[in-house]
Amino acid sequence: MRNHRVVLTRSLAGVPDAGDFRVVDEPLPEPGEGEFLVRHIYLSLDPYQRSAMAGRHMLGRQPLVAGDMPAAETAGQVVRSRHPAYGEGDYVRHFGGWQEYGLSTGERTERVDTSLAPLSAWLGVLGMPGLTAWASAIELAGVHAGQTVLVSAALGPVGSLVGQLAIQRGAEAVGIAGSDEKCAIVTREFGFCACVNHHRDGFLEALRAALPDGADIYHDNVGGQMLADAFSVLKVNGTVILCGLMERYNDPARSKPLDLALPIMKRAVMKGLVVSDFEHRRPVFEATVAAGIRAGQIRYREDRAAGIGQAGAHFSRLMRGENLGKALVVLGPERALGT
Amino acid sequence: MRNHRVVLTRSLAGVPDAGDFRVVDEPLPEPGEGEFLVRHIYLSLDPYQRSAMAGRHMLGRQPLVAGDMPAAETAGQVVRSRHPAYGEGDYVRHFGGWQEYGLSTGERTERVDTSLAPLSAWLGVLGMPGLTAWASAIELAGVHAGQTVLVSAALGPVGSLVGQLAIQRGAEAVGIAGSDEKCAIVTREFGFCACVNHHRDGFLEALRAALPDGADIYHDNVGGQMLADAFSVLKVNGTVILCGLMERYNDPARSKPLDLALPIMKRAVMKGLVVSDFEHRRPVFEATVAAGIRAGQIRYREDRAAGIGQAGAHFSRLMRGENLGKALVVLGPERALGT
């Protein structure tokens, strides 16, 4: 048996492309005492990985160089175990990285219940992006009935759930997305009352038209000009959740700074969100969202590629904003015929 | 009787200097029906007036040009009245502008009680700067015992009161000011436990040394690099009150923008403050602070110049940060011998 993992061919500059990555073939690692080997079935691709690769994220303070493997969450199945708490066949989520197999000591690893929701959902709507949305809408913004929530990157796994959680609580959601196709999905599948394409001329006017009374809450995944535009439709005393800086992940030098006069003039409350602070809320988040999925109230969408060799190209697609939903690479069948 | 008022000799660029202003001599205006004439005793000079003169402030959306008189609050005495609610001898505060006499219809005018505190205090510690400090420390930050509050422009009328209100509530205050002389006043007169001179080399290290456990609250009068430095000593989940942008009042083009990664990494709550939102809190603010002054718990410091002809030079001093306390121009005696 062999493992295939993806490494950088060079340090990244700007938007990554497939040529920045190559696949390395190597022997399958053997679990030592207290370790187990996970066959990765799904590899999670997320925008924060771009800044982590550049050494600009909490999860990665050193830039990756040629030969380094990007870190990432994966969902998979234990295939060999020398760990007392994990046995062969267990489905788990862990920080396995961009590879087909990964060792775990149990650290940063959770068993996942595939009877509650499909395995891949534990990387998206029930995973880190989902918990991020929960932290934003429920914990930090405290959205309630009658409010209007504006959500950037509204088709993504965070934004789409922020809007749906708001709707579930009796609020209205207005989305921002990067194409008419995305906007159509945001309104039809996710129930947002409107969605504005920020790549169209007249974006700000369209945003104002979609929010005649303004927004109570803005969930910001982007920063930059979009944050400035959002302030122009934010109600006085509105809330802004600072969650992501997608605008700068590819190239921080091109970042447009926030004019602090905007939050002052709007008497805004801005709150910085770091998802790891909300681990203690995971049980209520998982129970609520899993129930919402089963009841058909909460939907999610995945943007899949197949095979470890596609990871680089699929990540490039994500960082160009072309994905339609949670970006995943399928690395193997959910039920293996034998390892 | 003549009135003297100050007008701009040219549109402002950068730090104002005395030559940007000249005094105009004109006849005393006569109050019409429903108006009254106020003899200005104190003219309030405040940093926000610089951005108002440039058309960049809520109170002034058009840049002033040569011949325009700057707006400002004044404290004075009614000398002629054709208004039913105001009589000769009444002490009032109103938006009289940079001149010796001003007409009022009663709008944006309040009678002030000089038995509670001296007339000049109603422009500073009991005026707009004082209410700003109250809004920051009490209303928005909700400071309480055991916390540590970091205050920029700590010798100014806003900063010095933010710190003293925090101390009154059982918190500790650490100041930032622009000279060793200012810092000595901040600690000796206002009871801050420490004050750091931001013009000294090693400012950030000194700030860290003054806040070994970090700050729970940062009151920001400045923006720019000082805000970035403050984030480096802010505790996780700390609060930042965005109150002023002194860094940019003279020259917005030189402004250093906020890196939004800082509030995200600190899970900060940032709140924009506009003092006019807190008019309804003026009674409790005035009662509490006036009592504090009488009890010797709250102190204030004034930086005075004498005569309308000094207004421009004194404003220049303020905008160079050389003032030691609330900037005022004394325009006449508190009790006139006769008008």
> Cα–Cα distance between A222 and A248 in angstroms, integer?
8
**DSSP 8-state class, residue B47:** T
- B243 interaction partners in chain A (CB closer than 8 Å): 264
Q: Which of A58, A243, A257 sits opposite B265 (nearest CB)?
A: A58
Percentage of residues in chain A with pLDDT exceeding 90? 88
The stretch A174-188 carries a mean pLDDT of 97
Q: Give the model's confidence band at A59: pLDDT under 50 very low, under 70 low, under 90 confident, else very high.
A: low
Q: Does A59 touch chain B (CB under 8 A)?
A: no
Closest of A126, A117, A120, A182 to residue A151, by C-alpha? A182
pLDDT, position A246: 83
Mutate to test the interface with A, among B258, B264, B271, B273 (most CBs of A within 10 A): B264
Question: Per-residue confidence at B339, pLDDT binned at 50, 70, 90?
Answer: very low
pTM of the entire predicted model: 0.88
Least confident of A58-62, A288-292, A326-330: A58-62
**Chain mean pLDDT for chain B:** 94
Taking contacts as CB-CB distances below 8 angstroms, the residues of chain B near A260 are 223, 227, 242, 245, 258
Round to whole Å and give the CA distance between B24 and B41: 18
Complex prediction ipTM: 0.83
The first and second tokens of residue A328, run together, are 């995943």
Mean pLDDT along residues B304-313: 97
Surface of B (275-294) touching A: CB under 8 A: 277
Residue to mutate among A260, A274, A275, A276, with most B CBs inside 10 A, is A260
Residue A277's pLDDT is what? 95
What three-state secondary structure class fits A42?
strand
Give the DSSP H or E segment for A277: none
> Is the pLDDT assigned to residue B218 strictly greater than 50?
yes
Write out chain A residues lying below 8 Å of B261, CB-based.
56, 245
Phi-psi category of residue B298: left, alpha or beta, with phi > 0 → left and psi -120 to 50 → alpha: beta
> What percent of chain B stands above pLDDT 70?
98
Q: What's the one-letter identity of residue B278?
A: F
Integer Cα distance of B12 and B18 in angstroms: 11
CB-CB neighbors (< 8 A) of A227 in chain B: 260
Q: pLDDT value at position B59?
A: 63
Of the listed ranges A208-217, A323-332, B59-68, B204-213, the least confidently predicted one is B59-68
Alpha-carbon distance B70 to A46, whole Å? 53
Query: Is the pLDDT assigned to residue A161 strictly greater than 90?
Result: yes
Cα B316 to Cα B329: distance, rounded to the nearest angstrom: 12
The answer, for A52 touching chain B at a CB cutoff of 8 Å, is: no
